[in-house]
């Protein structure tokens, strides 16, 4: 499908792997120009910038370099994210110190990116911004409370940003993946499995398959490409009246009106 994104410039933060990389590739398939910001290079070549989202000065430098190289920025996708690496049920299995890095990457990192790019979008009076949140930010997931809370904050911040940028013709939304087989999802299983006695231990495929069959009405995994298709659609003019929304690609896991 031609979404009318040819020659537009998309910046995918966290685009070196996983869902972020699928989004970058889908923008490229729509003939957009893509810049990736990540902690590491996905592969050698131009259009990739190394920066830590928790380092605002580094993000501002990357934003300036991207504008110099590409001439402008039209679409921002924040796809960076981490979990605590621990199984959080009950939440006091974690220490308060386990919260800091998760919040700094998932929430403050998103704010850093928004601060670096929003003024340019407002000045040109067009563009979009999309934050990858999670269904965990809607349901109060007990699996990893720091992750869940950070994603809830991200959804709220997206709504604030949408209101601020609407007068400038800039749209902002959040996108919630459901059950996706990524390294982050596998790390959730690992943190659970590490605490199980032999009689309750399950391998990843069994654990994850049972979870999907129980909580996802469509009964199947979501894929990075599923998420990417919606992300790129939301950047297009076909979604011209969509802003401030929280859109789920989750097989019906969370249903809301």
List phi, psi (to 5°) of 171.
Answer: -100, 140
**Measured distance CA(27)–CA(184) in Å, rounded:** 23
**Measured distance CA(157)–CA(110) in Å, rounded:** 9
pLDDT in tens, 154-206: 999 999 999 999 999 999 999 999 999 877 778 778 878 888 899 999 998 89
Q: Where are the domains of the chain?
A: 9-182+222-249
**Measured distance CA(71)–CA(69) in Å, rounded:** 6
Cis-peptide into 126, omega within 30 deg = no
Contacts of 113 (CB under 8 A, 6+ apart): 13, 37, 53, 59, 76, 78
* 88 close to 142: Cβ distance less than 8 angstroms: yes
* 146 close to 103: Cβ distance less than 8 angstroms: yes
Please state which CATH class domain 9-182+222-249 belongs to.
Answer: alpha beta
The residue from 56, 147, 204, 253 that is catalytic is: 147
Considering Cα of 28, then 30, then 32, then 37, what sign does the dihedral take?
A: negative
pLDDT in tens, 11-50: 999 999 999 999 999 999 999 999 999 998 766 555 899 9
* pTM summary value: 0.92
147 is an active site residue: yes
DSSP calls for 13-59: ETTTSHHHHHHHHHHHHTT-EEEEEESS-SSSSTTEEE--TT-HHHH
Average pLDDT over residues 48-64: 97
> Which is nearest to 223 in space by CA: 183, 178, 189, 186?
178
Task: Check whether 230 has a pLDDT greater than 90.
Answer: yes
Residue 24, pLDDT score: 97
């Amino acid at each position: 499908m031609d979404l009318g994104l040819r020659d537009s410039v998309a910046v995918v933060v966290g685009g070196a792997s996983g869902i972020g990389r699928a989004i970058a590739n889908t923008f490229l398939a729509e003939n957009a120009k893509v810049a990736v910001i990540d902690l590491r290079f996905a592969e050698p070549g131009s259009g990739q910038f190394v920066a830590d989202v928790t380092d605002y000065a580094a993000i501002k430098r990357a934003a300036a370099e991207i504008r110099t190289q590409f001439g402008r920025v039209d679409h921002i996708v924040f796809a960076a994210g981490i979990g605590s690496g621990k199984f959080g049920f009950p939440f006091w299995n974690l220490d308060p110190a386990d919260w800091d890095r998760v919040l700094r990457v998932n929430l403050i990192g998103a704010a850093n990116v928004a601060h670096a790019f929003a003024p340019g979008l407002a000045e040109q009076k067009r563009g979009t911004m999309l934050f990858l949140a999670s269904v965990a930010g809607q349901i109060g997931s007990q699996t990893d409370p720091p992750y869940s809370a950070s994603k809830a904050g991200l959804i709220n911040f997206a709504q604030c940003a949408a209101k601020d940028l609407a007068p400038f013709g800039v749209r902002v939304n959040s996108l919630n993946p459901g059950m996706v087989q990524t390294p982050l999802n596998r790390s959730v299983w690992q943190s659970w499995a590490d605490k199980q006695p032999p009689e309750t231990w399950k391998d990843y495929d069994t654990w994850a398959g049972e979870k999907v069959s129980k909580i996802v009405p469509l009964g199947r995994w979501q894929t990075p490409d599923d998420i990417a298709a919606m992300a790129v659609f939301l950047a297009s003019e076909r979604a011209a009246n969509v802003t401030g929304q929280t859109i789920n690609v989750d097989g019906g896991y969370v249903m809301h009106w």
